[in-house]
Amino acid sequence: MSFLKLDLKTEYRNQHIDVLNEFYLPLFEESKLYCRAVGFFSSSIFARYAIGLHSLAKNKGKIKIVASPALSDEDFEAIKKGYEIRSKIIHDAILRELYEPKNLFEKQSLNLLANYIADGTLDLKIALLGNKNHNLGIYHEKLGLLYDEDNNIVAFSGSPNESQMALEYNYETIDVFCSWKNSDKERVSEKEQAFNSIWQGNDDKIEVFDFPDVNEEIIKKYKYTNTKNELDENVYEILPENSDYETENVQLHQTIEIPETVTLYDYQKQAINNWQQHNYIGIFDMATGTGKTFTGIGALCELYKNQGMVFAVIVCPYQHLVEQWVEDLEVFGIKPIIGYGSPQYKGFRRKLKNAVFDFNLQVKDFGCFICTKDTFADEDVQKSISEIHDNCLLLVDEAHNIGAQSYLKLLNKNMYKYRLALSATLDRFNDEVGTQILHDFFGEKCIEYDIERAINEGKLTRYYYYPITVELTESELEKYISISKEIFKHTKIDKYGNSILDESGKMLAIKRARIVAGANNKTQMLLREIEQYKNDNHILIYCGATTQKENEYNEEEIRQIDNISKQLWNQLGIKTAQFTANENSMERKQLIRDFAEGDVLQGLVAIKCLDEGVNVPAVDKAFILASTTNPKEYIQRRGRVLRKYKGKEYSVIYDFVTLPRRLADVKYLTEEEMKYERTLIKNELTRIIEFSRIAENSIDSVNLMMKLKDAYGLYEEEDND
């Protein structure tokens, strides 16, 4: 705990900045001691401070508050007439400020106030100006000190009292001083000495009182749980932010249901029913474009309907998927807490803590947090999720991603009573261990709705598939073989018969794959094939994350995506835009709109960010210049193209198949030379077989597949298998 990591301003004005969330709460989370001297005390402030004071209490910190009672003119007159009755008047004035809680939130927060006093976390003293030999006045100082565990001090002073009105509604200003800044050291020391003098009763201008009976009144009025009963430590859990509690009453129940505007297909309903029969644990294995998201949200609604209380944690691999999920959730009346590193979602960790506390105390019976997989792994996020008492659902979209080694430790069955994985390809490529752990955690498939069934039942469009062969140049082939020889030195076979590369081998494999993806001959071949569509719209071109030569006369390497975009415009006048990780969510939405309308944009040129989740249903022509050996990638790319769209009867896929050399020249190779090229041919064949299998023109690919197998002797290998 340290203040040094906080970005503190020198001044805070509450009508220009959220002082509670920008100043008080971050400091409370790092504090061991909070000292406050204020003009007026009101218990209303604790309904707003409870979030931060909780953090301080969990740090085993202490709170010292010295305040003046809110005395009326009648109180002053009474005291002047009889000094001996002042204790009763002060006592009554303080009790007037102990108002009745307006809702369950305030009831909980004031319960914390009482618990802090009861266990000694909070010590409250009352101050008056003057003494028994002088007329009484109002103690009106506004001073605060916070200490972290390294004894760094933040001192602040200014106009706000310790009341809700001052903090939220008045125009108030505070000045901030930090002990670690040379320019502030003297001011901090002066304020520290001033507070200590007041607190210890050493300031002869101020009279300070302990009011044990007032403390007892606070405890009696507000304390209805303690750390020993059924709430145990949860009496100190984070309370909801004030922004969620502006109304008189807290809404305990939400309407979480499938709306009339949404009609689920029979297979979606069956998937949800099967999931219910499996105790709400399972896998939705559904092809891209068949409604996985709506099926998942429908399952969440059904779970809430049957169980009455659910806290849903939804995990997506990327930010753009989170945004799409948020839009779909809102169709079902669900407004989630959104968590990832965007300025607009600043404070999501605190909101998550608040929601968990609400849920645990049954202030609300539904909670929903949606985040990226990286945010899901965040330590604070995991801590908050781990504190959810029961009925927690983990719903993971594109769940194969969470099978990576760095995320597997997060799959704790004890934390998630309910579990649901959505994925068209849950099995991880070349990762038997990760795949098995995913299946063990998420259980059995509740539906298997593959792309062939989706096409046959009219949920996806039919398509034509055209493999376009492209040979490596002489220099590219030379580099390819050289790297392949090095890769063999870094390869071993595991117990499952799979080839495993060490880290050096993996880097070499990436380098080799970029040669294949960026083969220079692909550019001219693309221009030749796409020319017939130069006046059409809804064209999608997939590039590799690689470079290539701009043309045969220029040796300089540029990004393939930049070269393709440039050539399409210069050679054919096709208007395209790039769709990459560089575009933000608003820019992407605009690109998709322009792409669908076709007036200003004929095509999109993408690398990887369209692989998972982005909806561009208007696309009906795809040119795939680069594919990895991972079936997940090219299966998802195909699904991207087959989504239904108005006026779209079928789709066309052009797949650029990279060959090491002309097939006619293969017969001159030795077996040693051929083995380095055979790996590439096998990988390309696997994709051709998958794509052509259910294409409308599947027969057209048979001749090419036979030629490839003949040239590289792959029939013999099949016979040996």
DSSP labels, 417-454: SEEEEEES--SPTT-HHHHHHHHHHH-SEEEEE-HHHH
User: Which among 205, 199, 196, 28 has a CA at the least distance from the CA of 129?
Assistant: 205
First to last CA, the chain: 62
Two structure tokens written together for 236 = 């100190």
**Residue 204: inside a domain, yes or no?**
yes
Measured between alpha carbons, how far is 595 from 64 in angstroms, rounded to an integer? Answer: 62
CB atoms within 10 A of CB 152: 19
**Residue 563: inside a domain, yes or no?**
yes
- What DSSP character marks residue 242? G
**Residue 492: inside a domain, yes or no?**
no
**Residue 475: inside a domain, yes or no?**
no
Q: What is the 3-state secondary structure (H, E, C) of 261-295?
A: CCCCCHHHHHHHHHHHHCCCEEEEEECCCCCHHHH
Do 612 and 551 belong together in one domain? yes
Q: What is the CATH number of the domain that holds 130?
A: 3.30.870.10
Do 709 and 566 belong together in one domain? yes
Half-sphere exposure of 684 (CA within 13 A, CB side): 31
Average pLDDT per consecutive 10 residues, the chain (721 residues; last block may be shorter): 87 71 83 83 58 72 81 59 62 69 68 79 77 50 88 82 40 83 94 91 80 73 56 39 36 68 93 97 91 95 94 91 89 90 78 88 88 93 92 94 85 94 83 88 94 93 97 94 91 75 90 92 96 95 86 76 93 92 76 87 83 75 87 80 91 96 93 89 94 95 94 68 47
User: Which among 126, 125, 129, 124 has a CA at the least distance from the CA of 206?
Assistant: 129
**Residue 234: inside a domain, yes or no?**
no
Residue holding tokens 């105390």?
A: 361
SS3 of 314, please? strand
Do 218 and 272 belong together in one domain? no
User: Which among 38, 33, 25, 225 has a CA at the least distance from the CA of 118?
Assistant: 225
Helix extents (H) in 318-347:
319-331
439 conformational bin, left if phi > 0, alpha if psi -120 to 50, beta if neither: alpha
How many structural domains does the chain have?
Answer: 3
CB atoms within 10 A of CB 2: 11
- What DSSP character marks residue 5? G
Do 103 and 42 belong together in one domain? yes
Answer for the pair 162, 38: CB distance below 8 angstroms, yes or no. Answer: yes
Answer for the pair 609, 318: CB distance below 8 angstroms, yes or no. Answer: yes
Two structure tokens written together for 183 = 């320019």
Kind plus residue range of the DSSP H or E element containing 514: helix 503-517
Do 211 and 276 belong together in one domain? no
Two structure tokens written together for 716 = 């013999």
| Bridge partner residues of 422 (DSSP) | 284, 397
Measured between alpha carbons, how far is 514 from 199 in angstroms, rounded to an integer? Answer: 71
Measured between alpha carbons, how far is 552 from 314 in angstroms, rounded to an integer? Answer: 49
**Residue 260: inside a domain, yes or no?**
no
| Cα dihedral across residues 657, 658, 664, 667: positive or negative | negative
- What DSSP character marks residue 643? B
User: Which among 9, 19, 31 has a CA at the least distance from the CA of 161?
Assistant: 19
Do 448 and 545 belong together in one domain? no
User: Which among 434, 204, 418 has a CA at the least distance from the CA of 309?
Assistant: 418
Do 395 and 285 belong together in one domain? yes
Do 283 and 397 belong together in one domain? yes
**Residue 583: inside a domain, yes or no?**
yes
Q: Are strands 445-449 and 281-286 parallel, antiparallel or unpaired?
A: parallel
Do 188 and 273 belong together in one domain? no
* All residues at 6 or more sequence positions from 639 whose CB lies less than 8 Å from its CB, including other chains: 287, 288, 289, 424, 451, 460
Do 702 and 627 belong together in one domain? yes
Residue 166: exposed, middle, or buried by beta-carbon count in 10 A (0-12, 13-18, 19+)? buried
Q: What is the CATH number of the domain that holds 390?
A: 3.40.50.300
Measured between alpha carbons, how far is 197 from 117 in angstroms, rounded to an integer? Answer: 22
Measured between alpha carbons, how far is 235 from 496 in angstroms, rounded to an integer? Answer: 52
SS3 of 335, please? coil
CB atoms within 10 A of CB 613: 22
* All residues at 6 or more sequence positions from 35 whose CB lies less than 8 Å from its CB, including other chains: 64, 65, 144, 145, 146, 195, 199
Give the DSSP per-residue string, 171-215.
--EEEEEETTSTTTHHHHHHHHHHHHHHHTT--TTEEEEE-HHHH
| Bridge partner residues of 623 (DSSP) | 541, 654
Measured between alpha carbons, how far is 651 from 657 in angstroms, rounded to an integer? Answer: 19
**Residue 439: inside a domain, yes or no?**
yes
Residue 427: exposed, middle, or buried by beta-carbon count in 10 A (0-12, 13-18, 19+)? middle
Measured between alpha carbons, how far is 147 from 149 in angstroms, rounded to an integer? Answer: 7
Answer for the pair 37, 144: CB distance below 8 angstroms, yes or no. Answer: yes
Do 701 and 620 belong together in one domain? yes
Measured between alpha carbons, how far is 42 from 57 in angstroms, rounded to an integer? Answer: 20
- The dihedrals phi and psi of 599, each to the nearest 5 degrees, come to -75, -40
Domain that holds residue 367: 266-456
* All residues at 6 or more sequence positions from 7 whose CB lies less than 8 Å from its CB, including other chains: none
Two structure tokens written together for 450 = 């593959």
Do 550 and 626 belong together in one domain? yes
pTM above 0.85, yes or no: no
Answer for the pair 70, 96: CB distance below 8 angstroms, yes or no. Answer: yes
| Cα dihedral across residues 169, 170, 173, 176: positive or negative | negative
